[in-house]
A and B are shown apart, each in its own frame.
Chain A
Amino acid sequence: MAFTPPKETNTGKVYSVTMGTGDKAVTIGGENVLPFHGFEGVVPNKPVIAFDVMDIAPVDWPDTVREIYAGVSDDPVTWAKFCVEKFNAKAICLRLAGTHPDNGNRSAAEAAETVKKVLDAVSVPLIILGSNHVEKDTEVLVKTAEVAKGRNCVIGKAQEANYKTVAAAAMAHDHLLIAMSELDINLSKQLNIMITQLGFNKEKIIIDPMCSALGYGLEYTYTVMERIRLAALTQNDVTMQQPIVGDVGMYVWKIKEVSASEDTLPMWGALKERGIGWEAQTATALLMSGAELLIMRHPEAVAAVEAFINEMM
């Protein structure tokens, strides 16, 4: 019997969002179908992976990923350039972890200085993240958004507790904004609505529904992302049509599976591949459920995910 493909076309579409400026700018989103469903609609852009760089040395990263950045990771400028030059990073995520009160408590001015130097050194798009301390982030992100004006950066993360200030800063200096909520589609939708009610352009938001690592709640992130996408496409819900980010590396490189040695846990096999596989598998699962932007740490995991994307598109 002849087979009729049950194509599904959607009324909704994901906004396409361009990050950065000049010839290194990248665009994500724009599709009107579920992830990698180019067979029944348009998927104009490939997902993009940003390399995670911090303003402090990555002392709490496991050796297998830390040693790759040995010699460059004590300076964010050198580190960022290294990622671009050596690994062909399409974007950089500068995580201002050192501004956290428990982690050095660097001032907003210092953070702004760092951002400026990194922007001078690399021309790929920059994601600027605070330390995930809701109060301190407001100060830090306000200052850094200002010095980054004109570079169309991604600022984050705006959360329920601080979104007004963070969104205002992004808006004042023409940046994009990451809106983060905690693994709940309704909270995510609500935050997007509140941010747009401030006058923020809904097409300049990127959704972070909160990441989780493989084996550590990945199913929750996977399903929330999938539901956000379905709402955007099938229900044409304009408050859920933003691209989605998966902040993968941060969640993956702190769990036991990426650091326990083979000697202590022989059943788990080779540590190096296990860590790379863990980060890459977490990332691809999230790509399949809806993410268009990923933040990752291990260059070999990034390369594997890029190979996966190439085979998918």
Chain B
Amino acid sequence: MALTGVEIFKMLPKTNCKKCGFPTCLAFAMQLAQRKASLDACPDVSEDAKQKLGEASAPPIRPITIGAGARAVKVGEETVLFRHEKKFVNPSILAITIKDTDGDDAAAAKISECLTSEIDRVGQKLKIDALCLVNESNDAGKFDALAKAVASKAPDVAVILSTENVDAAKAAIANFAGKKPLLYGATEANAEEMAKLAKASGASLGIKADGLDALSTLSDKVKGLGVEDIVLDSGAKTAKEMVEHNTYIRRAVLKKGNKSLGYPVINIAVREDNMLETLIAGLSIAKYAAVVVLSSAEKWKNLVMFTLRQNIYTDPQVPMQVEQKVYEIGSPKAESPLIVTTNFSLTYFIVAGEIENSKVPTWLAIMDCEGLSVLTAWAAGKFTASKIAAFIKDSGVEGKIANKELIIPGYVAILSGALEEKLEGWKITVGPREANALPSYLKSRTA
């Protein structure tokens, strides 16, 4: 359970030396209690206090990193059940399975599917995060061969090793030294050996049990064996069980202070029918799974899942935004049109997309309106004539274009008069309301 400021204060050096950046130890303690400061900021805290405070200040759902280097992914650390309360923290990671019975070609195809999965959407780079190697054969040699292929062809990709066979696990994991794989396969039956292996190889340990009771027991057991990074599989098979188990785990940890299950959850979304699998993955993303295992990663399916994950994990208080600047869509020249709109990522994305469709090179001036849409920004007083005028003047776009003409969104036609006054010497043109009218509009202007 979290400690109060005063409880924390009692464990600090009480010298008020200010090295932490706060005037007193008490002030620092208060900030720690609210998780607004980190204990590292105090250089003089004792080892004993560090350990006690560390335990008490640990996030209820332990953060776990799978993989190492540029493609390492972090899961866990969630703090709420509903996204309006606070931003969901670490997006669920998506993993595709390769079975050691699939054959070399199929395995190679899956590896390349993963490596080429990256898509840019609204300025974010989204991809398949991990490969889940499945020891379908239950043969150590076969599993090792697959592990070798993956380690050489996709050395940066985070890896999940799915096997309950300790020998197979041992053989495969040796290929990922220093790469923090997730060893997914500790059960009641093999817990001791798997725990030992995970610790020795610096891997996190996925534990599998049938139901939440057994899962709690197993979690306590592997923790007792010294494993800290645990990932939970409650044995939920159907969508119905997934919602129930995932919800109970998240609730028990966040609202009841349950420690046994304070770890990220893994869900298997694999289904016979690929469309259903996509929807089950959506369920896992929305309803609390940290790792989602899939059978395949077709491009259409990725786009659907990535977009859902992006939607669910955006900050409800801070809309996604793009940088304020004059974007060049399709190498515009001095005579090309100039359009202004807000920096809400969705607005930018739609408008830029339609300009691309028009094939008319265009200057697109994106103004910082704290990520609000055109009408919302206008209603909130952030997309006003004087602010737009100031932005256009400061942007330096004037030096790049031949005609001082600015096209504004049709929804804010009302601004044109005031803008003409504020932007002396400029012609203000009201564009269409909906962006999908932009292609014909831009084409007709150049015709």
Contacts and interface: CB of A to CB of B under 8 A. Distances in A.
A288 interface: yes
Given A277-B275, A288-B283, A305-B279, A257 B248 contact: no
Interface string A1-41: 11111101000000000000000000000000000111100
B308 interface: yes
A312 interface: yes
Contacts of A277: 275, 278, 300-301, 304
A219 B311 contact: yes
> B248, B255, B303 — which one has the most chain A CB atoms within 10 A of its CB?
B303
Contacts of B213: 2-3
A261 to B, nearest CB: 12
B251 A1 contact: no
B155 to A, nearest CB: 24
Given A214-B311, A277-B300, A277-B304, A3 B276 contact: no
A277 B213 CA distance: 36
Contact of B286 (A8, A273, A285): A285
Q: Is the interface of B mostly helix, strand, loop or mixed?
A: helix
Nearest to B261: A3
Contacts of B248: 3, 5-6
Given A215-B307, A277-B275, A270 B300 contact: yes
A274 B300 contact: yes
A270 B298 CA distance: 8
B353 A256 contact: yes
B299 interface: yes
Contacts of A223: 82-84, 316
B311 A268 contact: no
A313 B82 contact: no
Given A215-B307, A269-B301, A308 B276 contact: yes
Chain B interface extent, by class: 35 or more
A175 to B, nearest CB: 32
B423 interface: no
B312 A219 contact: yes
Interface residues of A, number: 50
A87 interface: no
A293 interface: no
A295 interface: no
Contacts of B310: 215
A59 interface: no
Nearest to B310: A215
Given A5-B212, A277-B304, A218 B279 contact: no
A3 B216 contact: yes
Nearest to B307: A215
Contacts of B278: 277, 280-281, 304
A281 B282 contact: yes
A114 B145 CA distance: 66
Contacts of A6: 248, 251-252, 255-256
Interface in A143-160: none
B276 A37 contact: no
> B283, B301, B311 — which one has the most chain A CB atoms within 10 A of its CB?
B311
A288 B353 CA distance: 30
A222 interface: yes
Contacts of B287: 288
Interface in B289-305: 298-305
A299 B371 CA distance: 36
B303 A257 contact: yes
Interface string B371-390: 00000000000000000000
A278 to B, nearest CB: 6
B255 A222 contact: no
B37 interface: no
Interface string A251-275: 0001011000000001111110110
A240 to B, nearest CB: 15
B247 interface: yes
B217 interface: yes
A280 B279 contact: yes
B303 A1 contact: no
What 7 pairs across the A-B complex have the smallest Cβ distances? A269-B299, A269-B300, A274-B300, A311-B239, A277-B304, A304-B275, A215-B307
Given A214-B304, A277-B301, 16 more contacts: A2-B216, A37-B247, A214-B307, A215-B307, A217-B346, A218-B311, A219-B311, A230-B82, A268-B119, A271-B300, A273-B300, A273-B301, A276-B275, A280-B279, A285-B286, A312-B283
Interface of A: 1-6, 8, 36-39, 214-219, 222-223, 226-227, 230, 254, 256-257, 266-271, 273-274, 276-278, 280-281, 284-285, 288-289, 300, 304-305, 307-308, 311-313
Interface of B: 82-84, 119, 121, 212-213, 215-217, 220, 238-240, 243-244, 247-248, 251-252, 255-256, 258, 260-261, 273-276, 278-280, 282-283, 286-287, 298-305, 307-308, 310-312, 314, 316, 346, 350, 353, 436
7 contacts: A6-B255, A36-B240, A222-B83, A277-B275, A284-B283, A304-B273, A308-B283
